[in-house]
């Protein structure tokens, strides 16, 4: 009995190791680009992929602003990155994407303090449910609407510093997204509303990059949506308890670490010659075709106009013009 059990465990571990290393092929490391004199914002930069992205940008010599909710974690991450890279130009600025007021306050503080912006990495993401102070579902506001407003408020600065880039961290979870334009930002119906909401927000991310690219033609500001890989970060701490025992071995098997997860963001932020792919979707540092709804230009435009209304950048239809 015991021998068979041990053999079974041994075989399982061998298979597991093979799978783990076979499935996770890392893209080749490229020489570091020189980013001295360039300024980058990374949202959600205090942990996970955001911190790994910020660390690498700082290593390349960029001035990096960690735009994140917790001052405690943000300051600690900035300190850690300054120490590790020897680059003193890394700082924390408070940004809570679940508050449109905070997004506006961050943008105006940034524009006052910082003369330049070359890279905007819209990286922050949540998978938790709940409702924001603005009355929208938490994942949809943090993952899409807050970033949409932030990007619009910083666009002039990106244009005046062009060539510049916007990277929007989406996910292959966009494949399950469904955008209900009449109920945008309200929790979706169904069995798994929080998961559905997360997928919807990620479809919105891919469509946002697509429409943004259309509007930015000729400005030398380009944008890219990226799937970071299934990264083993705190994003899953909100999974229901009964699901965690199933997720943990899966996470070990299929998920990559945060440094690997940051690679596609860094590729789209810094790699030469990607300008012709503005608005497209990348995974594993390669161009990929997203799922069909993410190709829909009419949906992209409708999402854009609805998002403008929801964040207060456009008058609702039928309202008196000032």
Catalytic residues: 198
CA distance 271 to 273: 7
- 148 close to 312: Cβ distance less than 8 angstroms: no
Rg of the chain's alpha carbons, rounded to an integer? Answer: 20
> Could you tell me whether strands 164-169 and 119-122 are parallel, antiparallel, or unpaired per DSSP bridges?
parallel
For 95, the token pair is 């940004």
- 47 close to 233: Cβ distance less than 8 angstroms: yes
CA distance 87 to 151: 26
CA distance 283 to 206: 12
Tokens 């961290």 -> residue? 169
Calculate the alpha carbon distances from 36 to 6, 11, 39, 133, 309 in Å.
55, 50, 8, 39, 38
Neighbours of 24 (CB within 10 A): 15
- 258 close to 49: Cβ distance less than 8 angstroms: yes
Tokens 């506001």 -> residue? 141
CA distance 162 to 201: 28
98: left (phi over 0), alpha (psi -120 to 50) or beta: alpha
- 137 close to 130: Cβ distance less than 8 angstroms: yes
């Amino acid at each position: 009995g015991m021998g068979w059990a041990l053999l079974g465990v041994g075989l399982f571990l061998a298979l597991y190791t093979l799978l783990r290393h076979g499935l996770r092929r890392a893209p080749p490391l490229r020489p570091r680009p020189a980013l001295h004199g360039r300024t980058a914002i990374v949202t959600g930069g205090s942990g996970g992929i955001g911190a790994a992205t910020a660390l690498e940008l700082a290593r390349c010599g960029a001035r990096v602003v960690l735009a994140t909710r917790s001052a405690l974690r943000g300051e600690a991450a900035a300190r850690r990155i300054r120490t590790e890279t020897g680059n003193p130009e890394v700082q924390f600025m408070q940004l809570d994407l679940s508050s449109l007021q905070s997004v506006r306050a961050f943008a105006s503080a940034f524009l006052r303090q910082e003369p330049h912006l070359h890279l905007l990495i819209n990286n922050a993401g949540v998978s938790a449910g709940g409702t924001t102070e603005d009355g929208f579902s938490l994942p949809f506001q943090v993952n899409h609407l807050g970033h949409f407003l932030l990007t619009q408020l910083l666009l002039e600065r990106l244009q005046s510093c062009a060539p510049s880039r916007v990277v929007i961290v989406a996910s292959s979870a966009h494949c399950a997204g469904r955008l209900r334009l009449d109920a945008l930002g309200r929790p979706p119906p169904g069995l798994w509303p929080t998961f559905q909401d997360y997928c919807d927000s990620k479809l919105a991310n891919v469509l946002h990059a697509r429409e943004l690219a259309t509007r930015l033609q000729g400005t030398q500001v380009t944008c890219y949506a990226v799937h970071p890989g299934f990264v083993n970060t705190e994003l899953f701490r909100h999974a229901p308890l009964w699901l965690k025992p199933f997720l943990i071995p899966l996470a070990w098997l299929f998920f990559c670490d945060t440094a690997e997860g940051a690679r596609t963001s860094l590729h789209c932020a810094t790699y030469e010659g990607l300008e012709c792919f503005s608005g497209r979707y990348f995974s594993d540092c390669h161009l990929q075709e997203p799922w069909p709804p993410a190709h829909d230009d009419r949906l992209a435009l409708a999402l854009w106009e609805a998002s403008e209304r929801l964040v207060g950048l456009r008058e609702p239809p039928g309202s008196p013009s000032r």
